[in-house]
Structures are given as structure tokens and as C-alpha cells.
Amino acid sequence: MPDSLPPSGSLSILREAITLRFAGRIALVSSFGTDSAVLLHMVAQIDPSLPVIFLETGKLFPQTLAYRDALTALLGLRDVRSIRPAARQLASYDPQGRLWERDPDLCCAIRKTYPLDEALEGFTAWITGRKRGQSATRAGLLPQEQGPDGRVTINPLAFWSEADLDAYFTLHALPRHPLQAEGYTSIGCAACTAKPLPGQDRRSGRWAGRAKTECGIHMPRAMARPDWPEDLSFEV
């Protein structure tokens, strides 16, 4: 796997990973956000039955759920898995549904990291849509990395620019996320997503006003804090 990857090489890297290197042992994790249609379209060309894992946190915009359904039908994706948080953890640690206000790291752990770790059981690699240009914390992203959970992550769009993405959307007449027209450039849970301020990066509206910049699914599980509940085991 090269250290750099021109946009023209993304499809072949993806095809090799899905059909050869990790055949039957790889999944795509997609937020069905503003850029997601690009990777989903590529995957649909290679294998529309590839498992697509979507973290349905219970806090998403209704427009995101509608976009998921529309893209799934349009692209003919046959195995989109909407993964929800464990009911017992929600009942124990977020019965009011407002954990994001006082402890967003724990909220993300219950709604994203823990469910993803469970959903990826049996897979040795996963595909992400992360890009270097999204934020300073992703500036060193490589096309392939060893993930914090020991699995390989394939990042076919690591070197894509906004212009590359726009061109792909246009070339393939892909629909945009409905909230993009309102100015959202990176879309997660409704409670933790704002529009970016002028001059700030595309992810600056995520957890705006907090030091938090990532939900945790791409970070070492050692971020789990000692004061977290015992049933949130991140020892993968």
C-alpha cells in the first residue's frame, strides 16, 4: 500500500481490498454524511452486498436517516446494517438521553465506539471515508493504517480534496445530503453538529465549543477513562 494515493487509484485499492486481500472479512463504516455517497458508490460498483455499518445513535438528524434510505435504494446496497446502542447501557447511563451535555466522550462510547466494536466482530479490516483535508487531526492520514483495535483500516479517500469530491458527485450525478444545502459540511448527531464558522475547517462544527474533535471510533481504546462503567470494555 503506497503512502500517497491519487484519486484515480482509489477504486483499484478498494477493489483489491474487497475482492482479494480481505475478501469476506472487510466492511465499510459509513455515516451517510456529506461525502459518504462517493465511497458508497464505489463499493456498489465492486460488491453491493458488502456489509455497510451505519451507527444509528438515536441522536441523528432525520434527514440523515432519509438520506441513508435513499442512497441504499439508489445504489442497490444489499447489506446496510443500522447498529444501535445497547438498550441496557442507555437505560443505565443515559436514561434521560442527555448524556451528551455533561459527558460527550461517554455518550460517544455508548452510542458509537462500543456498538462499532461489537459490529466489527469477525472482520479483520474496515473501510473509512476519512480525508486529510477534513481537519488538522487528520492531516497525516495514510491510505492504509493499523487501527487502534488491531484491525486494518483502508482510507481510499485520504488524499481527496473538496474539488475531487465535487467532481465525483457531478460525474456520477449523486444526490447530496439534504443538510449540505443549508451550510453543513460535516454531519453527525444533531445535538453535536453545527455549521462551520467562516474560515474554519469542514469538521469545525462538530462538538463546537468543546475540545472534543473525534467521536472515538478512530482513536486508541485507551481513551476509555477509569471512571467509566465496567461493562464498557474496550480491551480489543
Which CB, 57 or 135, lies closer to ligand SF4?
57
Q: What are phi and psi of 97, to 5 degrees?
A: 75, 20
Min separation Cβ 93 and ligand SF4, Å: 11
User: CA 168, CA 81: separation in Å to the nearest integer?
Assistant: 25
Which CB, 41 or 177, lies closer to ligand SF4?
177
Residue nearest to ligand SF4 (CB): 189
Residue 127 to residues 61, 152, 182: CA-CA distances in angstroms?
A: 23, 9, 28
Q: State the greatest distance between any 2 C-alpha atoms of the chain, in Å, as a whole number.
A: 49
Alpha-carbon torsion (222, 147, 205, 229), positive or negative: negative
The verdict on whether 215 is a catalytic residue reads: yes
**Contact (Cβ atoms closer than 8 angstroms) between residue 40 and residue 52:** yes
Which CB, 174 or 191, lies closer to ligand SF4?
191
Min separation Cβ 167 and ligand SF4, Å: 30
Which CB, 90 or 142, lies closer to ligand SF4?
90
Min separation Cβ 67 and ligand SF4, Å: 17
Min separation Cβ 222 and ligand SF4, Å: 18
User: CA 69, CA 77: separation in Å to the nearest integer?
Assistant: 10
Site residues (vs ligand SF4, CB under 6 A): 57, 59, 100, 104, 107-108, 111-112, 188-189, 191-192, 215
List, by residue number, the catalytic residues: 215
